[in-house]
Amino acid sequence: MIKFFLIIFYTLSLLIQSSVQAAPKNKETYEYLDLFGQIFDRVRSSYVEEVTDEELIEKAIDGMLTGLDPHSGYMNEEVWEEMQMDTQGKFGGLGIEITMEEGFVKVISPIDDTPAHKAGVIAGDYIIQIDDTPVFGLTLNEAVELMRGEKGDPITITISREGKEPFDITIIRDFINIQSVKNEIYDDIGYLRITSFTEQTEDNLIKSIKKIKNELNQKDKGYILDLRSNPGGLLSQAVKVTDIFLKRGEIVSTRGRDKKNIIRYRAKNGDMIDNKPLVVIINNGSASASEIVAGALQDHRRAIVIGTQSFGKGSVQTIIPFKKSNSKGVAGIRLTTARYYTPSGISIQGKGIVPDIIVEQGTFESFNYKRYSESDLKDSLDKKENNKTNQDADKETISQKEERLAKDFQLQRALDLIRGLSLYQESFEK
Q: Which amino acid is at 195?
A: T
Catalytic residue among 86, 276, 313, 408: 313
342 CB burial (10 A radius; 0-12, 13-18, 19+): buried
**Do 342 and 295 contact (CB within 8 A), yes or no?**
yes
Active-site residue 153, yes or no?
no
Q: Is 113 a catalytic residue?
A: no
Could you confirm whether 313 is annotated as catalytic? yes
102: helix, strand or coil: coil
**Which of 158, 215, 145 lies closest to 183, judged by CA?**
215
Distance CA 329, CA 331 (A): 7
- Computed from CA positions of residues 317, 310, 89, 116, in that sequence, does the dihedral angle turn out positive or negative? positive
Rounded to whole angstroms, the Cα distance separating 180 from 111 reads: 9
Say which of 288, 290, 310, 315 is annotated catalytic.
Answer: 288
Please compute, for residue 411, the number of CA atoms within 13 A of its CA located in the half-sphere on the CB side: 24
Closest among 375, 372, 367 to 405, alpha carbons compared? 367
Q: Residues in the chain, how many?
A: 430
Kindly calculate the radius of gyration of the chain based on its CA atoms and give it in whole angstroms: 25
Helices 140-147 and 77-87 sit at what angle, rounded to 10 degrees?
70
Q: Which of 112, 220, 299, 408 is catalytic?
A: 299
Q: Return the axis-axis angle of helices 27-46 and 2-20, rounded to nearest 10°.
A: 150
**C-beta of residue 316 within 8 angstroms of C-beta of residue 340:** yes
Which CA distances in Å does 88 have to 123, 143, 199, 233? 23, 22, 5, 10
- CA-wise closest residue to 70 among 101, 93, 107, 96: 101
Cα(354)–Cα(403) distance, rounded to whole angstroms?
Answer: 29
Kindly list the catalytic residues.
288, 299, 313
